[in-house]
Structure 1
């Protein structure tokens, strides 16, 4: 039998770290749930997705990524505190103990995998052949279930060590360890969260993107070249609005319509966000001209040839919102090719992947 004499490999340390890590798991799960429902809503929810607050997705996805990054030191130190339990002998002592070890195995494996996948996604590095989003979503449910099962199995131990003991010879060392972990969490948050929190941008050292240093003040996830979109000739481009009274517009005609400027954030699943001034035509004005019913859904079609989200759909809460624009200009400048020239969608409280670029067609779907 292996004997571990190191201090702090104990239930009290594991319980304190577990509280923090459990909170991070819960925050990540529910903010991830919001992101998933906004991107792939069930049929009953699609027409009711909220367009307010305009910064809603920016907050939830920024919190999701920041909490996931903060969970890295928490997870590593938690594993350090409990790893001697892996060498217990005999390995299984009872049915309850077997259930506990099985739940721990699933919990640890899923937590590590979710963390690695999430960090790779932040950096837009995908060395695997499967879909990140679907895998991340499925593993999130496994992680939540394994966490709840683990808490249920360990409830007696958690209750016993939840509060500080009156006599605890390791209290000073434990406080030092927890202060160190807290400092690591704080530092990681400060040097990465600047990609979504403007006040922290001067301290952004590890985040893969700095919105304020991006072209036209907004980062680009997929360039025109990556999407297979060549230089779109203005003379041959037409915006087709398909509806009961469908029509087509040249870029010159689109520019002649009433233009509106709105300051809206754009936020992405990688955790970055940026506020910008968008100028263009209100989507509801284009739909009214096409005779679209007020409750109609709209399909937006892009000219892109490669990649996901070539088409997206919008419910009436977005299409009838006065802030939703078919944008032609960004921060006072004509859209660059990478930002969606000649026209792109910008809508409040909507994931960045659904803010369709290189728009060529808008279709009224149905009531």
Structure 2
């Protein structure tokens, strides 16, 4: 028989006794997916930011294609590239860099709005869901690499072993393709959340509206600040606000920025003392600098625009390329190969199609702003042509060859 407690006494349950934990065997914590209680991690906010981001990437892609094919034209297009408008490359490359900087802000905000979905549990809920997540991973990776390698390029810092131009160009196609794939996969959800009224009313309480507007206004303000403090490197009326751009349009030898100096190109005083211009064609000839200066001179006002985004309008004076080619007996419609005095470099040898070679604004320039070219600006002679990337405005020209 079980003994009973005496009357009048309360019975208390005995405390449970756990066995002592053995040394060397830590308890395994229970793994739980993270929970996100923050607001605005929703489809409506992501769609609103995504509209801006998609527009920025579209502008970057189109202007990037223009820049790439002007810089590296395929053989079949070399004679089809236009020399007009003279400010065309200045505009498209300025837009490319400006929207690229804006895209960095938008991409960070976009990732903030959607990152809780990266921790959704279970990670894969079927074949379609696996493909969707794979497309998102490809989109995020290519977009992040594209904008941040572009950012490092404008400051001319290349901490990677691969070639920037080829990789940036290939990544652009991957990024735009993954964006289109993402739009196709998420079309129904994007359509539902495109307007002010969202289909997911339970997911989007009305109280979130002011916070969402504040987030979008803050994003727009950040883009505005970045644009105003960088666009002055290309849009010179705002050059006084050019605080964050890597170049200022007035800073450099002769009041013009320089990317590659004479010292960096290996241009020596001895090589400049013995300089001659060699023109190869049906009637080849050579000219000294004094002989070149005695030829008819032309003054033009043209911008020089660099792939890093800066550009400056300047007055140049020199001999028309068309006149030099005609003296060499070049037939009408001939192209031109230009060789620089520098010992090595990706653009030591440059070719231009007939539209550039025959354009009356294309010069072998000897002066900049009424003064003889400095060594860093290509003394004794350099190319200046309309609607042309700066890397193709060859400096220290020593040879012209009719094609």
- Please say whether Structure 1 and Structure 2 have the same fold, judged by a TM-score greater than 0.5: yes
Greater shift after overlay, 351-360 or 87-96? 87-96
Residue in 2 aligned with 1:317?
355
Q: Deviation at 1:41? A: 1.2
Once the two structures are TM-superposed, the CA of residue 230 in structure 1 deviates from its matched residue by: 1.0
State the partner residue of 1:61.
93
Match of 1:271 among 309, 324, 337: 309
Tell me what 1:72 maps to: 104
SS in 2 for 1:213: coil
Partner of 2:275: 237
Query: In terms of Rg, which structure is larger?
Result: 2
Query: Residue in 1 aligned with 2:337?
Result: 299
Please tell me whether residue 31 in structure 1 is matched to residue 59 in structure 2. Answer: no
| Larger proportion of helix | 1
**Counterparts of residues 1-367 of structure 1 (less than 5 Å):** 1-165=33-197, 168-231=206-269, 235-365=273-403
* Maintained 8 Å contact 1:226/1:306: no
Q: Shift of residue 100 of structure 1?
A: 1.2
Query: How far 1:362 moved relative to its partner?
Result: 0.1
Q: Is the 8 A contact 1:292 1:364 kept in 2?
A: yes
CA distance in 1, matches of 2:261, 2:270: 14
Distance 1:204 1:127 in 2: 26
Aligned length: 365
What is the SS of the residue equivalent to 1:200? helix
Contact 1:32 1:61 (C-alpha < 8 Å) held by counterparts: yes
**Alpha-carbon shift at residue 305 of structure 1 (Å):** 1.0
Distance 1:91 1:321 in 2: 60
Aligned counterparts of 1:217 and 1:317: Cα–Cα separation in 2: 30
Aligned-pair CA distance for 1:234: 5.5
How far off is 1:357 after superposition? 0.3
Residue by residue over 1:62-98, the C-alpha shift from the partner in whole angstroms, topping out at 9 and shown as x without a partner, is 0000000011111101000000001101111122211
Q: Is the 8 A contact 1:217 1:276 kept in 2?
A: no
| Structure 2: distance between partners of 1:245 and 1:89 | 76
Question: Structure 1 pair 318/256, CA: closer, same or farther in 2 (3 Å)?
Answer: same
CA distance in 2, matches of 1:21, 1:118: 16
TM-score by length of 1: 0.98
Task: Give the whole-Å Cα distance in 1 for the aligned partners of 2:55 and 2:395.
Answer: 37
Give the 3-state SS of the residue equivalent to 2:76 in structure 1: coil
Structure 1 stretches of 5 or more lacking a match?
none
Whether contact under 8 Å (1:231, 1:337) holds in the other structure is no
Question: In the TM superposition, what is the alpha-carbon distance from 1:136 to its structure 2 partner?
Answer: 0.4
